Structure 1
């Protein structure tokens, strides 16, 4: 599955350093949903992946008039994820 492939690529601790960035949150809003509602109807594969990374995800609205503010929100959330990891980072070598 996808988790096994990521583990082969990034090593056994990849889940501790992974968050999912959902783009086009504006399309989710246009469908009359918020992020939580969208995830409620998401596939089991996606829900299992989110569960394996401790529900670290970010929804981003790609509309130009909000993109600058979205960048600030993304940065804040990434910094919070890093803080939760006790400021550890994933170091891996992709060269074999």
Structure 2
């Protein structure tokens, strides 16, 4: 059996980070029902994973995307976008 390096995120570790992120965003965006914030985080995480974001960057990218979506919904004006990390940009 191969051991996983300590620096390699596990699915459980990423899940825990996303749960903490969700709780933080629910507190930071009280104008939205908790379920809406949870769905926003879930969509942002799915988007990060389908874009091939490495496991150790999933929660960071998810937070950027979810914050942008929630801020846009709240104010109608998006925050300034942060470009995706170089490693996940697709050649085109």
In terms of fraction of residues, the more strand-rich structure is 1
Query: Would you call these one fold, judging by a TM-score over 0.5?
Result: no
In terms of fraction of residues, the more helix-rich structure is 2
TM norm structure 2: 0.29
TM norm structure 1: 0.28
Larger radius of gyration: 1
